[in-house]
Amino acid sequence: MSEPRSALEEKVVEAALGARGKVVGLVTELVACDITYLPGHADAEGAGRAVEAEVVDRLTAAVAGGPWFAERPPRFRWTEDVVPAEMPPDHPPAVTAVECAALVDRSGKPAGLDSWHDAASFTAGGTPTLSFGPDGIETAHAANERVSVQSLLDFTAAVAVMAMRWCGVAGTQRQGGPR
């Protein structure tokens, strides 16, 4: 390109450069992003419209004045808003999950997950929900997803104890809440 480029345009071109310094491909039609946000950033309706607006404002400002973008202004299309959810670490189900994991010699701690999962839908519907699973988060939902057999057995035992604590056991009186 012979025309001057903005810093952002330079970064786009630089990212498209091959190992020998030649442009191997530059797609100017579409940039797709997966933007996640924390529950505290949801607006009053529980959606991420404020986050969307901030992204549009910042990206639009970043390319403002760029001659390439003057002819090709960015357009934004939001396909879905999957609202995040969280549960305090001292919430009874979270505490019970950690306690039950410890019973099978598994350490754990409440932590955030940087992607959407089904628990967010239940929590958004009014049922506080957490995700609890065997070791292996580093390969979860990937092409090579796997866990060790022992981890799966330990997890199964921990979930069984969680269910007994929350629901009681046939022939016994449930004392209410987790025990």
Quick: pLDDT tens for 112-161: 776 777 888 888 788 888 888 888 888 877 888 888 899 999 999 999 99
The residues, ordered by sequence, that sit 6+ positions from 60 with a Cβ below 8 Å of its Cβ are 74
Top-confidence residue, 175 or 44: 44
Residue-level pLDDT at 172? 66
Q: In this structure, are residues 32 and 76 in contact, taking their beta carbons and an 8 Å threshold?
A: no
Whether 147 and 153 have beta carbons less than 8 Å apart is answered as no
Q: Please report how the helices 92-103 and 149-167 are oriented relative to each other, as an axis angle in degrees rounded to 10.
A: 130
Cα distance between residue 81 and residue 51, in whole Å: 10
Alpha carbon distance 170, 105 (integer Å): 26
* 3-class DSSP state of 17: strand
What is the spatial distance between Cα 134 and Cα 137, in angstroms, rounded to a whole number?
Answer: 8
Q: Judge whether residue 45 has pLDDT over 50.
A: yes
* Section 85-112 average pLDDT: 86
pLDDT value of position 154: 92
In this predicted structure, the answer to whether residue 174 has a pLDDT above a threshold of 80 is no
Residue 125, CA distances (Å) to 46, 90, 121, 128 in order? 11, 21, 6, 8
What pLDDT is stored for residue 7 in this prediction? 65
Percent of the chain with pLDDT over 90: 11
Give domain limits for the chain. 7-71, 92-167
The reported pLDDT for the residue numbered 20 is 40
pLDDT tens, residue by residue, 59-82: 888 888 888 888 888 888 888 777
